[in-house]
C-alpha cells in the first residue's frame, strides 16, 4: 500500500539531513534517507522505525547518475510516490587562495554540491509531476548573503548556484504544483568540519573586527540541526503553500553583520 506522503532527504546520515529526516518522519512522512555511509543511514532508519514511522536507507552518491536513478526507483517502488525532496547533501570542500585551489578540488566541490543537487532534482521530478510537492534545497549564507569565509570560492559559487536553481525551477515547476525553495543556514553545529580543508587562511582572511558574539539571536552560539529541520518541515508542508522560489536565511541574524 502506498504511504500517505513520502519524502526523500539526501545526506540524511548526519547533521541537518538527519534532523530533517527525523522531523519529517514525526510529521507523518515515510522517509527515504539517502547517503554514502550505510551504518549512519541504518542508525537513523532504526531510530525512525522504533517510533513506529516508515523509513528506508538508500545508498548512493548524489553526483552519480546510475546510483541516483536506482535509489529513486527503489524509493518509489517501496513507498509508491514522492512528495517532498530535501536536497541537503553537500561538502565544504577545500577553502584556499584561488591560485592554490587545484582544478581537481574545484571539480570535487562542483560535483557534489551543484551536480549532486541537479541530479537529485533531475531524477525526482518525474515522480512528482502528477501529485505536486515541495523541493527544499539546502544552500548557505555563503554565496547568498555573505562572502567572508576565507578561501571558500568554490563553496560559495555552488551555494549561489543552488539558490539560482531554486528560483529558476520555481517558475518551471509551478505548473505542476511543485514548489522549490532554498534554505540558507549560517553556522550550524554539525559534522561538516570533517569535510572542510582550509589552506593558507592568512592569505584569504579579511581583517574585520567582529562584534562581541557574532550570532545576535543566540549570544554567539551556532544554530542546531533541529532549528533547520523545523524550517524544512514548514517548507515541505501545506502551511508554506504560497511560498516558492524563496531563499530563507536561518542564521540568527549572523549574515546581516557583514
Ligand atoms: N553546518 C553548517 O554550518 C552549514 C551552514 C550552511 C550550509 N550548510 C549546508 O548544509 C548541508 C548539510 O551539511 P551538514 O552541516 O549537515 O554537514 P554533514 O557533513 O553533517 O552532512 C552532510 C551529509 O552529506 C553527505 N554527503 C556528502 N557528499 C555526498 C555525496 N556525494 N553523496 C551522498 N551524500 C553525501 C555526508 O555523508 C553527510 O551525511 C550542506 O549542503 C551544507 O553545505 C551547513
Cβ–Cβ < 8 Å for 6, 30: yes
pLDDT in the model for residue 219? 82
Task: Tally Cβ neighbours within 10 Å of residue 148.
Answer: 16
What percentage of residues in the chain have a pLDDT greater than 90? 86
Which pTM does this prediction carry? 0.96
pLDDT digits (tens, 9 = 90+) for 84-127: 999 999 999 999 999 999 999 999 999 999 999 999 999 999 99
pLDDT digits (tens, 9 = 90+) for 30-45: 999 999 999 999 999 9
pLDDT in the model for residue 211? 54
- CA–chain centroid gap for 51, Å, is 24
Q: What is the mean pLDDT of residues 7-23?
A: 98
Cβ–Cβ < 8 Å for 67, 84: no
Q: Cα angle at 119 between 29 and 191, to 5 degrees? A: 65
Per annotation, catalytic residue among 29, 118, 155, 176: 155
Confidence of residue 135 (pLDDT cuts 50, 70, 90): very high
Atom of ligand 1 nearest to the CA of 195: 19
Give catalytic status of residue 176 as yes or no: no
Atom of ligand 1 nearest to the CA of 113: 41
Amino acid at each position: 500500500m502506498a504511504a500517505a506522503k513520502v519524502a526523500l532527504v539526501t545526506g540524511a546520515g548526519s547533521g541537518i539531513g538527519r534532523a530533517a529526516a527525523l522531523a519529517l518522519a514525526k510529521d507523518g512522512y515515510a522517509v527515504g534517507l539517502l547517503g554514502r555511509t550505510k551504518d549512519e543511514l541504518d542508525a537513523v532508519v532504526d531510530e525512525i522505525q522504533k517510533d513506529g514511522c516508515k523509513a528506508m536507507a538508500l545508498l548512493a552518491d548524489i553526483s552519480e547518475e546510475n546510483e541516483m536513478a536506482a535509489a529513486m526507483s527503489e524509493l518509489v517502488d517501496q513507498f509508491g510516490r514522492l512528495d517532498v525532496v530535501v536536497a541537503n547533501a553537500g561538502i565544504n570542500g577545500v577553502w584556499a587562495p584561488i591560485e592554490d585551489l587545484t582544478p581537481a578540488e574545484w571539480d570535487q566541490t562542483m560535483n557534489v554540491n551543484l551536480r549532486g543537487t541537479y541530479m537529485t532534482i533531475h531524477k525526482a521530478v518525474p515522480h512528482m509531476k502528477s501529485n505536486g510537492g515541495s523541493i527544499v534545497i539546502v544552500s548557505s549564507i555563503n554565496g547568498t548573503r555573505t562572502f567572508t569565509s576565507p578561501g571558500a570560492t568554490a563553496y560559495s559559487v555552488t551555494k549561489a548556484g543552488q539558490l539560482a536553481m531554486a528560483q529558476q525551477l520555481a517558475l518551471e515547476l509551478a505548473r505542476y504544483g511543485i514548489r522549490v525553495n532554498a534554505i540558507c543556514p549560517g553556522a550550524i553545529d554539525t559534522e561538516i568540519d570533517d569535510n572542510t580543508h582550509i589552506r593558507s587562511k592568512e592569505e584569504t582572511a579579511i581583517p574585520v573586527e567582529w562584534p562581541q558574539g557574532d550570532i545576535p539571536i543566540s549570544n554567539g552560539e551556532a544554530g542546531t540541526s533541529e532549528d533547520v529541520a523545523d524550517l524544512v518541515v514548514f517548507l515541505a508542508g501545506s502551511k508554506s503553500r504560497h511560498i516558492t522560489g524563496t531563499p530563507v536565511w536561518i542564521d540568527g541574524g549572523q549574515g546581516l553583520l557583514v
